[in-house]
Structure 1
Amino acid sequence: MLDEPKQRKQRPETESDREQIIHAAIEEIRPNLQRDGGDCQLVEIAGSKIIVKLTGACVFCKLSNFTLERIQAQLVERLGEFVRLIPIAGATKARH
């Protein structure tokens, strides 16, 4: 017997809906990272590029790539479109 195909998520109707989905996906994983001394924060959304900042224990964690892949997969699934998650490590330099 064949399984019914999984329903694809519909693309968000507005940019605001899209941003809310992205924020929610990242916020969902943050408590797990914070429990282990790390964090992941949304920095910028630039089209299909989603830039996040890893801090604390996440900066040096050997599993951070796995964590980023998991977040990216959640975003692709929820948004119904390909997005690329781009990490920046630690605090950014202050501009003078």
Structure 2
Amino acid sequence: MTIVTQKWQDVNEFAVTEEMSRINETKILKNVEVTITYKDQSGFILKNEQFLISGDNYDLLMTENPDFAPGKPANEYREADLWHVIDLLRNEQ
């Protein structure tokens, strides 16, 4: 008699890169949705993580000349600005 079973095993994978794979801004709702993709050394996607920038964090992102981005115009942002706010959100978790 043959018995077929499935075994699940936890494996630690190490992400070597993280990148913004999707940015979706909704100005009327005052939010930005960002998807971060984590990849291993072969480029295989290990995980996607989503962040919603809204409320005070959205206001910070859109502010003029913040401490983290001197000279930045109001109501604009760069990828570096998104990373700054995402790091703030990560620290809140």
Same fold (TM over 0.5): no
Looking at secondary structure, tell me which structure has more strand per residue. Answer: 2
**Larger Rg over CA atoms:** 2
TM-score (norm 2): 0.28
TM-score (norm 1): 0.27
Higher relative contact order structure (alpha carbons within 8 Å, sequence separation ≥ 6): 1
